[in-house]
Amino acid sequence: MAQGRRDELLQKAYDYVRANGMSEMSLRPLAAAVGSSPRVLLFLFGSKDGLIRALLSRARADELAMLDGELPAGAGAAGLAVWEWLAAPANASLLRLWVEAYARSLGATDGPWAGFAAETVADWLEVLARAQPAGERDSPAGLAHRTAVLAVLRGALLDVLATGDVERTTAAVRLALSSC
């Protein structure tokens, strides 16, 4: 029974933070929005930090599930395919949440945010690695290539979330990745 209620409240809380952000999240308004109480949330997730960790884990899982498919061969071509997903307006709320969590994680050495940024870098590098031939994937040059593609995508994502200018940013991504 508790697991079902936990899953239900996690989904509702996830929907809430996608719409409202998470860094200044307070348990009372969140509990009211999801039809629960702060006590129930604390019981089911152990602490506010436990709830935040569960929400961050859910966001990472959703992000990776959306990208779990066949990508074109080569890190540059894969980067362009990933960019199409990143630039889609339907994914903006998930990606704003990702940016918020990523920024909050930088420099965090403990607590629920610790390690989130580094873990997502590893996630994204793995997504891009799947598109590389084995010989390239397993080389220092292959890692550098993926890292460069990731840096372009991350920078462009920040820009498109800030400005909403998908056309200009997409042109820049295509230009930057055309030589990859």
22 closest CA partner among 75, 116, 89, 98: 98
Same domain (yes/no): 65, 31: no
Same domain (yes/no): 23, 73: no
Task: Please say which residue of 38, 57, 76 terminates a domain.
Answer: 57
H or E element: which one contains 139? none
Same domain (yes/no): 137, 171: yes
Question: Please, are residues 75 and 66 in contact by the beta-carbon 8 Å criterion?
Answer: no
Query: Quick one: what percent of the chain has pLDDT higher than 70?
Result: 96
What are the tens digits of pLDDT across the range 115-173? 889 988 998 898 889 888 888 889 999 999 999 999 999 999 999 999 999 999 999 99
Same domain (yes/no): 71, 159: yes
As for how many domains the chain has, the answer is: 2
Same domain (yes/no): 165, 82: yes
Same domain (yes/no): 113, 64: yes
Domain extent for 46: 2-57
pLDDT given at position 107: 85
Angle at 62 between CA 104 and CA 180, to 5 degrees: 80
Angle at 122 between CA 18 and CA 82, to 5 degrees: 60
Task: Please say which residue of 57, 80, 101 terminates a domain.
Answer: 57
Query: Quick one: what percent of the chain has pLDDT higher than 90?
Result: 26
Question: Please, are residues 60 and 105 in contact by the beta-carbon 8 Å criterion?
Answer: no
Same domain (yes/no): 92, 44: no
pLDDT given at position 154: 93
Same domain (yes/no): 92, 125: yes
Same domain (yes/no): 91, 102: yes
Same domain (yes/no): 27, 96: no
Same domain (yes/no): 76, 147: yes
Same domain (yes/no): 25, 96: no
pLDDT given at position 23: 65
